[in-house]
Amino acid sequence: MIEAVIFDMDGVLIDSEAFWLAAEREVFGSLGIIVTEEHSSITSRMTTREVTQYWFDIQPWLERSLADVEHHVIMRVAEFVDLYGEIMPGVEQTLKYFKQEGYKIGLATNSPGILVSRILKKIGIEGYFSSILTADSVDIGKPDPQIYLKSASSLSVSPSKCLVFEDSQGGVMAAINAGMAVIAVSGKYSDTYGNFDQADRWISNLLDFCPEYIEIINRRFS
């Protein structure tokens, strides 16, 4: 039986992909790097530290430390969030439902902690989560299952009793490899449905979530 729900953040709670792309093009561009869509598709689900290392390995720079460049990207994303950040459709309704029904609620994201707290405050949902894990909480980000296993532990729930909401193939696989049920949230990128074959359900956004899905998943996991 599902006892806890764990949410990814970027693409599930806030549509921030464009913020990351703009920040990376600006910051890495200042170092002479051209951030192409092909490369962005590879780095889009990495942690910021992993993205910075990725570009450094391809085209090393001398004038700034990796930590400084990583921090610059994060701060630019934070500025974009402050200016343009909006909560995704259905988020508040879904969180309220799970809270009212007594489920434990966690957040597990590849984004850094300094940005996570800023985003949750911006969209007004910081009070819903009993556990918040970020890129700073683990040694390896998604698609490694570490963050989801640690999230289940922090919620004092078995991984097999957790339901995850994810919007990326890497995140879906991280949750599955942690032994959890997964609802894939495709957002506006509906053409990525084909990447979610192993998810228990697919929805376009949280407005499409139905409590009946929990009953279906409980039967499958029983």
Give 215's contacts (C-beta < 8 A, 6+ positions apart): none
What is the rounded CA–CA span in Å between residue 210 and residue 205? Answer: 11
Residue 10 annotated to the active site? yes
Q: How far is CA 71 from the centre of its chain?
A: 19
Token pair belonging to 138: 């683990």
Per annotation, catalytic residue among 10, 15, 167, 200: 10
* Start-end of H helices in the chain: 17-29, 37-43, 48-58, 66-84, 91-100, 113-123, 146-154, 169-177, 212-221
Q: Which of 88, 77, 142, 72 is nearest to 110 (CA)?
A: 142
Is 191 in the active site? no
| Type of residue numbered 26 | E
Q: How many angstroms separate the CA atoms of 29 and 38, rounded?
A: 15
Give the catalytic positions in this structure: 8, 10
